[in-house]
Amino acid sequence: MLLAIAFIVSFFFAMNIGASGAAASMGVAYGSGAIPKKSVALLLCGIGVFLGSLGGGEVVKTIGSGIIPSSILTVKIVVIILTAAAISLFAANIMGIPLSTSEITVGSVVGVGIAYQAVYFHKLLFIMSVWVVIPIIAFSFTLAVGKWFLALKRKYPQLEQGRWQKTFMALLVITGFLEAFSAGMNNVANAVGPLVGAGLMVVGPATIFGGLFVAAGALLLGHRVLETNGKKITNFSPFEGSAISGTGAVLVIISSLFGLPVPLTQITTSAIIGIGTAKSGMSIWQKRIVVQLLKVWFVSPIFSLVISYSLVKLLLDSDVYTVIAIFSVCLATLGVISLKKTVAEEERSLHEHGGGI
């Protein structure tokens, strides 16, 4: 029974990965109008992500045994890791936020490792440093490309018309498909890596089944995230979209070859913000959706870490007091945040209207 639950949670998580990371990879092509129909964009995404999953074996090995020892990955632990990650990702998909599945999966694995005092911290720190560096590279590169293209358009105004327009549209579809391929190569491991680490599956069949469910998730659940990445951050031309998708695809494929789980959605969104900054200046950073994305990225791995750690303490160690302490800290944190907002609103009200209580 527990084994069946492990597989059900894994494949449910895989479908949510398709909705979040994989579907976001086609958001650029959809947002720029290269693929006008949302259903077509999601279909291409599903095909690309399945093909990419077939080459994701190195990342599967990292998730399965590169962060914590595979010896502690029992069926119960696998269920806990995948449940914690799935809860985090499902909540983000409900909100339509493109969340990094790599971050929440690694966070869940680390939560279990902390509970058992068995984490390969040197490997973890290296992965986390890559999480910081690669989005910065994506942002910087597309910022430079965006400024160069704006200068080129001023010199050649006809650059986005006629034959050039069709060429850029075709290039965008190709780079979007390539980014979906990279999503499969990197993100499928997040769902099946724990199963492989526990010896419940071997790498080959795991990537195939995982790829199928991620593709299904993109088709069935990816509509809202596609809309967020494609329409709500900034508008971009086909050439700019090609730069965004191409940058994300290359960075993620290179990382996958080295077995590094990287945040595809962060890379893509950072590239989008880079283009937006080149066009609109720093004003894009004031958009509510950008601020919301940055907050979710910071909180999500910590959220999944806390959930997996708490589940180990509660279900396996029967340590209710630790869970109560964690829950109390979370409540206190939320209370402080709420109080801070209330004080800020009160100060703003006093400033605008004068007077006091």
Condensed to tens digits (0 to 9), the pLDDT of residues 21-42 reads 666 677 777 877 778 888 888 8
Q: How far apart are CA 19 and CA 225, in angstroms?
A: 7
Residue 357 has pLDDT above 60, yes or no: no
Can you say how many angstroms the Cα of residue 72 is from the centroid of all Cα atoms in its chain? 26
Residue 197 has pLDDT above 90, yes or no: no
Q: Record the tokens describing residue 138, joined without a space.
A: 């994506």
Question: What does pLDDT average to over the chain?
Answer: 82
Q: Which of 13-22, 41-50, 102-111, 314-323 has the lowest mean pLDDT?
A: 13-22
Helix, strand, or coil here: 106? Answer: helix
Pick from 214, 228, 260, 265: nearest CA to 244: 265
- Write down the pTM of the prediction: 0.81
Residue 257 has pLDDT above 50, yes or no: yes
pLDDT of residue 51: 92
Q: How confident is the model at residue 319 (pLDDT cuts 50, 70, 90)?
A: confident
The answer to whether the beta carbons of residues 131 and 262 sit under 8 Å apart is yes
pLDDT digits (tens, 9 = 90+) for 82-101: 888 888 777 766 665 656 78
Percent of the chain whose predicted confidence (pLDDT) is above 90 = 15
- Selected residue with higher pLDDT from 211 and 327: 211
The answer to whether the beta carbons of residues 249 and 45 sit under 8 Å apart is no
pLDDT digits (tens, 9 = 90+) for 199-241: 888 888 999 999 999 889 888 887 777 776 666 555 677 888 8
Residue 349 has pLDDT above 70, yes or no: no
Residue 287 has pLDDT above 70, yes or no: no
pLDDT of residue 356: 43
88 CB-near residues (< 8 Å, 6+ apart): 99, 104, 107, 108, 300, 303, 304, 307
pLDDT digits (tens, 9 = 90+) for 92-141: 666 656 567 888 889 999 999 999 988 999 999 999 899 889 989 999 99
Helix, strand, or coil here: 120? Answer: coil
pLDDT of residue 104: 87
pLDDT digits (tens, 9 = 90+) for 60-88: 988 888 899 888 888 889 889 988 888 87
- Domain boundaries of the chain, sorted by first residue: 2-301
Residue 305 has pLDDT above 50, yes or no: yes
